Chain A
Amino acid sequence: MKLTLKIWRQKNRDEKGKFVSYSVNNVNPEMSMLECLDVLNEDLIQRGEEPVAFEHDCREGICGSCGFMINGHAHGPQTATTACQLTMRHFKDGDQLTLEPWRAAAFPLVKDLVVDRRAFDRIIAAGGYISVSTGNAPDGNAIPVPKGIADRAMDAATCIGCGACVAACPNASASLFTGAKISHLGLLPQGKPEQDRRALNMVAQMSEEPFGGCTNIGQCTESCPKEIPLEVIANMNRDYRVATLRKRDDLIQVITPVTTWSSDSKS
């Protein structure tokens, strides 16, 4: 089949970009979206033009590298599907597909369809972990975890960090991403000791980055290729609020002698 790809081309952050239309004639319905771009790129190179830069790696929907807007949908119109697993059989001969990079202030453009998502790494570095150094661990079965809790933690932990939630959100909020990690770790008994600190620090970092706020629109979960539930944002807000109320960052402050008690201690 034949498709027209209208693709955002931009050499780098400083130069102006524009849409360029290309027709691809030999599209096989079994091909993935990225394979369709491969075919176009081979053609462009042969014609002496620069191929379209796009991010990709595992091509099986788990690494989170790929992703761009396809006809206004993050990762395209199929639910629970990343661009690398979106097969062309979902489109019709003669269709036009508009491909744009994720658009969010927190994800500065690198080139064509490639953006910089390091803001996500910084949010994780702010507290998206359990502080247990190598060698510190008790036996794996020492802490029983109810199956239901383990399953819910796993649901949240499946986030691949692709950024579709931010791209789909009219506010460009990173709440689904941040909430997913806060939920994953906060639900598990291993994550409880740092639950307050984690929520405070990760939310603080998220606010530091130019992401927007959450207004419960739900586009994020709609476009999430891993179907992370909206519930994780509620978990994040609850953890953040509880932590703010408790105004403590760890148990050590609670047992500090009364004489040094100060209501404005750092939270």
Chain B
Amino acid sequence: MKLDARIPSGPIEKAWDKARFDMKLVNPANKRKHTVLVVGSGLAGASASASMGELGYNVKCFCFQDSPRRAHSIAAQGGINAAKNYQNDGDSVFRLFYDTVKGGDFRSREANVYRLAQNSVNIIDQCVAQGVPFAREYGGALTNRSFGGAQVSRTFYARGQTGQQLLLGAYQALERQVSTGTVTMFPRTEMLDLIVVDGQARGIVTRNLITGELDVHFGDAVVLASGGYGNVYYLSTNAKGSNVTASWRAHKRGALFANPCFTQIHPTCIPVSGDYQSKLTLMSESLRNDGRIWVPKKKGDKRPPSQIPADERDYYLERRYPSFGNLVPRDVASRNAKHVCDEGRGVGESGLGVYLDFSDAIARLGENVIRERYGNLFDMYQRITDENPYKVPMRIYPAIHYTMGGLWVDYYLQSTIPGLFVAGEANFSDHGANRLGASALMQGLSDGYFIIPYTVGNYIANSKLDKVDESHPVVQEAVAGVKNSIHTLLSIKGKRTVDSFHRQLGKIIWDECGMSRTAEGLKKAIGQVRELKQEFWQNVNVPGSGSDLNQSLEKAGRVADFFELGELMCIDALNRNESCGGHFREEYQTPDGEAKRDDENYSYVAAWGYNGPDSEPTLTKEPLEFEYVHPSQRSYK
């Protein structure tokens, strides 16, 4: 297979304008005759559904939660980037584009990133108009803060709840369309298969999580906006329900999966406290604006932080990266935290933690200013740890947070299956090997508000689709397959719970395909994952039935997919014999321990094709070309 990203020709600044002008349009009166299925109701899914509903399409939107407002975009804290240059500090569309390509360690597609930077300014306008209560100056203007990997202040925020406010904006726009009848919402509904007829995506098989009924929904196009796969690690900052199932089932139907090993470890999370732990809680990266990160200089120094004098503290990020200091990108900050902990200088009971200290900022700005900026985060920290971060430094440790990899899409966000579009974190397109802070919200909304409504329309206008119904053999086969796998899971009645398998899988992936990776470890992990997968299918215990609310059954289906994805992640990480962004192969580093890329051999997107449960996946490469931002070793020194 040859991958064609369909990037418009000509200068990058004009690419999106040209693409939009070349698109075919659907007559306004005909739009309601076309059905678009949107899976997921987070920033990308809700904004795409609302915008296509406004245009007049007949939209059906699906989410597994009880309401679209619960989607995990809601938990994003820090902010959203936009090249508004309101601060007059030298920002521009080109600079945001440049920072994002560089931040992604030159493994993203330039044209997509440029369009993202262009759209960023419209996103802020749209959200303000919807009533998103962004932080303001006394004069009434919008205010900004800075984030990792950038030297300008371009991050817009609503306290530490930016994701919540942006999602509620999109959710409200979605509900407005629900009230006008253009969008039909299907909450507590999970997509379990994709229906592909004559090579085109034509529908989905869903399970009603309350009644267990399977349904088939047909459409002219399917948009997956089902988020990332960080929960493969079991412990992550993702919501407990976040899963890869929709993407993975599409992958099994022929959509290529790109760069699965590109996962992001967020440097500032609350450290793990025990075996029962079910998830990790993020402390926004914005805290690094005012907090200073340090560990004791001495190994095994057990004194409380207040008794360690300044000259016995190692502010290691400020020492190693004087120009970016505590605001280095996430991958760099995480690796350095791991490094000092591996040296035995970690803090807290487990030794897996570093201090994030606000005492200097409080002395400089006063407690009130810090409370205003981060109050809710400080409260949350205190609720969880029972320590007061105004008095004692926070303890933080990296945790898995975001996945840059995802289904392969072209410039039009269409996967390798025509009619199947992928938006937001579920696609691979914009962040390369590392995502900069405050860029996930930007991408989700750019895809949903400003790209999908155009490109899906263009696809519909160009397609002649025959009617399909439930009698089609492809549909019957898909429904039977879903029924069968539910039946199998329920009838194994083994000895281990789904969670115990998931925990064990997560530990394998975290140990061998987490913050640092080696060829040897990855090979070992592949073997272990395969073995564990086999045991899962013989020894899992899923209680209850398939005809009512059965949360164990839901989890079992998702974990079954995580096994297959986890294996692919290790295969991809093993294939990529270089270090870049979040993918750090210990064999490939510079003398001072930074990631060492191999542009000659690995400047490509690795897109994997599914060949059945017992066959090796096929690798297809999309070469990356850098015309505007020349690859260099990323330096934040």
By a beta-carbon cutoff of 8 Å, the part of chain A in contact with chain B is 11-12, 28, 30-32, 34-35, 38-39, 42, 44-46, 48-51, 53, 55-65, 78, 80-81, 85, 87, 89, 110-111, 114, 116-118, 120-121, 124-126, 128-141, 143-147, 150, 153-154, 157-158, 160-161, 184-185, 188, 190-191
CA distance A135 to B51 in the complex (A): 9
Interchain residue pairs A-B with the least CB separation, the first 6 = A144-B140, A129-B172, A137-B129, A137-B125, A125-B175, A154-B133
- Is residue B171 within 8 Å, beta carbon to beta carbon, of the partner chain? yes
Q: How far is the CB of A182 from chain B (nearest CB, A)?
A: 12
CA distance A231 to B181 in the complex (A): 33
- Is residue B465 within 8 Å, beta carbon to beta carbon, of the partner chain? no
Instruction: Determine if B276 and A28 form an interchain contact, defined as CB atoms under 8 angstroms apart.
Output: yes
* 0/1 interface trace, chain B 121-155, chain A, CB 8 Å (1 if under): 01011111111011111111110000000000000
CA distance A133 to B449 in the complex (A): 10
CA distance A116 to B171 in the complex (A): 18
Range, interface on chain B: 35 or more
CA distance A141 to B207 in the complex (A): 45
Residues of A within 8 A of B51 (CB): 133-134
Known contacts A124-B171, A147-B138; A62 and B273 CB within 8 A of each other: no
Instruction: Determine if A146 and B140 form an interchain contact, defined as CB atoms under 8 angstroms apart.
Output: yes
13 more CB-based (< 8 A) A-B contacts, given A50-B543, A60-B279, A62-B75: A38-B276, A45-B543, A46-B497, A55-B66, A59-B281, A63-B72, A111-B549, A116-B66, A128-B172, A129-B172, A134-B449, A190-B128, A190-B130
Instruction: Determine if A63 and B128 form an interchain contact, defined as CB atoms under 8 angstroms apart.
Output: no
CA distance A205 to B601 in the complex (A): 61
Instruction: Determine if A132 and B240 form an interchain contact, defined as CB atoms under 8 angstroms apart.
Output: no
Closest to A46 in B: B497
Residues of B within 8 A of A35 (CB): 276-278
Instruction: Determine if B133 and A157 form an interchain contact, defined as CB atoms under 8 angstroms apart.
Output: yes
Instruction: Determine if A65 and B70 form an interchain contact, defined as CB atoms under 8 angstroms apart.
Output: yes
Residues of A within 8 A of B133 (CB): 150, 153-154, 157, 184, 188
CA distance A89 to B131 in the complex (A): 39
- What are 11 residue pairs bridging A and B, where the CB atoms are less than 8 Å apart in the complex? A46-B541, A65-B65, A80-B379, A121-B175, A132-B126, A135-B126, A137-B126, A157-B133, A157-B168, A158-B161, A191-B131
Q: How far is the CB of B257 from chain A (nearest CB, A)?
A: 25
Name the one of B210, B237, B380 contacting A110, with C-beta atoms under 8 angstroms.
B210
CA distance A237 to B384 in the complex (A): 37
* 0/1 interface trace, chain B 551-566, chain A, CB 8 Å (1 if under): 1100000000000000
Residues of B within 8 A of A130 (CB): 129-131, 172
Residues of B within 8 A of A120 (CB): 67
Instruction: Determine if B543 and A51 form an interchain contact, defined as CB atoms under 8 angstroms apart.
Output: yes
Residues of B within 8 A of A141 (CB): 86, 141-142
* 0/1 interface trace, chain B 29-71, chain A, CB 8 Å (1 if under): 0000000000000000001001100100000000001111111
Name the one of A58, A87, A89, A131 contacting B239, with C-beta atoms under 8 angstroms.
A58
- Is residue B252 within 8 Å, beta carbon to beta carbon, of the partner chain? no
Name the one of A60, A114, A140 contacting B281, with C-beta atoms under 8 angstroms.
A60
Instruction: Determine if B125 and A62 form an interchain contact, defined as CB atoms under 8 angstroms apart.
Output: no
- Is residue B185 within 8 Å, beta carbon to beta carbon, of the partner chain? yes
- Is residue B274 within 8 Å, beta carbon to beta carbon, of the partner chain? yes
Instruction: Determine if A87 and B131 form an interchain contact, defined as CB atoms under 8 angstroms apart.
Output: no
CA distance A157 to B169 in the complex (A): 10
Closest to A80 in B: B379
Tell me which of B65, B131, B161 has the highest count of chain A C-beta atoms within 10 A of its own C-beta.
B131
Closest to A63 in B: B70
Q: How far is the CB of A201 from chain B (nearest CB, A)?
A: 9
Residues of B within 8 A of A184 (CB): 131, 133
Q: How far is the CB of B474 from chain A (nearest CB, A)?
A: 33
Instruction: Determine if B549 and A188 form an interchain contact, defined as CB atoms under 8 angstroms apart.
Output: no
Instruction: Determine if B544 and A50 form an interchain contact, defined as CB atoms under 8 angstroms apart.
Output: yes
CA distance A12 to B547 in the complex (A): 11
Known contacts A35-B277, A60-B380, A133-B54; A51 and B179 CB within 8 A of each other: no
Residues of B within 8 A of A114 (CB): 549
Residues of B within 8 A of A124 (CB): 171-172, 175
Instruction: Determine if A45 and B497 form an interchain contact, defined as CB atoms under 8 angstroms apart.
Output: yes
Known contacts A11-B548, A58-B74, A146-B140; A134 and B54 CB within 8 A of each other: yes
- Is residue B187 within 8 Å, beta carbon to beta carbon, of the partner chain? yes
Name the one of B47, B86, B140 contacting A147, with C-beta atoms under 8 angstroms.
B140
Residues of B within 8 A of A51 (CB): 543, 551-552
CA distance A138 to B125 in the complex (A): 6
Residues of chain B from 161 to 192 with CB closer than 8 A to chain A in the complex: 161, 163-165, 168, 171-173, 175-176, 178-179, 185, 187
